[in-house]
Chain A
Amino acid sequence: MDYHIPPGTEAIERLEDFIVVNRLTANTRIPSERDLCEMWGVSRSTLRQAVDTLVSWGVLYRVRGSGVYVAVPKKNRNMVGVDSMIGELRQQGSFLSKKIISARVIEATKQISRKLKIPLGRKVHEYIRLRKVDYVPCILETTYIDGQQYPDFDEYYNEKTSMDYILKNIYHKKQKSGEENISVTYASEHEAELFEIEPDTPLFFTSGVVKDEKGVPVTYYKQLFRSDQFKFVSVINKE
């Protein structure tokens, strides 16, 4: 039997392999479509389809009138633990900074009271922060913390301190487990402005609750991630 790879698929895989084998780094221009067609003996339309596919997957990008370039890899948001996102990103060599957009005390809404398992109307701290990763605004994060279990939280938390550090060292609270929901949303006018992107651009939307070792909720959070800057990665190991 004669086994073969369909030409369209083969062109995509050749192009992917070409980038890897030649160790083409981000923002390197790949050879012209004409040169690649000649090199691989494929038609112009087949090659264009392959380039289009890799552009749509975020592997390549086009610059009008200039050519096709290797895209900057997205940053990994490694789903390793409940309290390590920031540390993880630093480990990847990223420079992080945050700006507190809003800090206030509110009364727990139905949703907040359900998530934090506290009575309706209880005072909670709400913090909205915009995080920049390598100077690019990427993450918009809203966190709710019970004001009764964590009194004076606002005395400790500011742009120079970290929530994880305060919880661990001032309140001696372990963040043990969590569950997160991930879906896709689209940037509102306001979010688009903060992220410096077009409105309606797709974003990762996550929400979750972090619990201590007894299963008591510690924080309830919602995050938006720019999808052109981030991919979510989860490694599952059998013990």
Chain B
Amino acid sequence: MGTSLELEEKNEGSNERPDGELDYRMPIYLQLREIVRSRIEEGEYLPGSAIPSENKLAETFGINRLTVRNAVEALVNEGVLQRVQGKGVFVVGDKYEESLEGYGGFVNTVFPEQKHASVKEQTKTLRPAGNKYANYFDIEPDDLIFYMRHFTTIKGQPLSSEEIFVPQEVLPELEAVNSSVFSIKDIFAFYGVELASMQQTMEIIRGLPKLRKMLDVPDGVALIMLTCDHRDSNGRVIAYSRSFIRSDKSSFNIKLHS
């Protein structure tokens, strides 16, 4: 989708901006830290998207890469940025104060804690809703929806394949966001899209040969199909996700109340 290219172009164009100039009387890494911070605040670096690489920043400002690293590290420590192995440094937006997990929901106890899990965004495209998703999202069949597919591996071993559907009008910025770094719930929070409820459904299925092959499922092992409706406070569905998860690599946990 040319996302990273767009950001780099924006970055070059911003060289003339006053906040892009360095004052050599102050520690340079602190100045760069504040430049990156203001670019995030002004919406130049969008939540959920990657900032330019350290090399790129070093080149743009004509400074040492180590200095860039110090500036970035400071913002990582503040929680404003998040470093993702092999993918870059991403802008973290505001999160909802109460995490929805506190209220129940299936949590894959194998996956989130797994430091070695790697999520790849295989596909992100816009497509017409078609009749099914038009009814589902209460939009017109010709309206566009984002379709994303993620493939998750742990230490190189397939774990799950996830598809996410979001109407374009709900979050046009999704175009620029790498949906494999943050959950759709977090991305909604970054952009102030209200998420009032989620309904998760878990089923055990066998799965077609093609899917089983993609996930490298051993013979006799079942798959878990986990679907989730995300709704706003009017009860309108704003996102739908469907995951196929290897049951031999997963176990779920849920908190219950009386």
Contact = CB atoms under 8 A, between A and B. Distances in A.
Contact of A200 (B132, B220, B224): B220
Give the size category of B's interface with A.
Answer: 35 or more
B201 A232 contact: yes
Contacts of A232: 106, 201-203
Interface in B175-229: 195-208, 211, 220, 222, 224-225
Contact of A57 (B131, B133, B196, B205): B205
Given A5-B127, A183-B247, A13 B203 contact: no
A71 B30 CA distance: 63
B254 A79 contact: yes
A227 B203 contact: yes
A23 interface: no
B106 A234 contact: yes
Nearest to B206: A56
Interface of B: 96, 98, 100-101, 103-106, 109, 126-128, 130-133, 135, 144, 195-208, 211, 220, 222, 224-225, 247-248, 250-258
A182 B131 contact: no
A236 B201 CA distance: 11
Given A14-B132, A21-B131, A227-B203, 8 more contacts: A4-B128, A179-B253, A179-B255, A182-B251, A236-B100, A236-B104, A238-B100, A238-B195
A14 B131 contact: yes
Chief secondary structure at chain B's binding surface: mixed
Contacts of A154: none
Contacts of A234: 104-106, 199-200, 202, 254
Chief secondary structure at chain A's binding surface: mixed
Given A56-B208, A181-B253, A184-B247, A237 B196 contact: yes
A44 interface: no
A177 to B, nearest CB: 6
29 contacts: A3-B144, A10-B130, A13-B131, A14-B131, A20-B132, A56-B207, A56-B208, A57-B203, A79-B106, A79-B256, A81-B257, A81-B258, A82-B256, A178-B255, A178-B257, A179-B253, A179-B255, A181-B109, A181-B253, A182-B253, A183-B247, A202-B206, A203-B204, A204-B204, A227-B204, A232-B202, A235-B104, A237-B103, A237-B196
Contact of A181 (B100, B131, B195, B252): B252
Nearest to B233: A238
A182 B127 CA distance: 35
Contact of A177 (B130, B250, B258): B258
Given A81-B256, A81-B257, A53 B208 contact: yes
Contacts of A16: 132
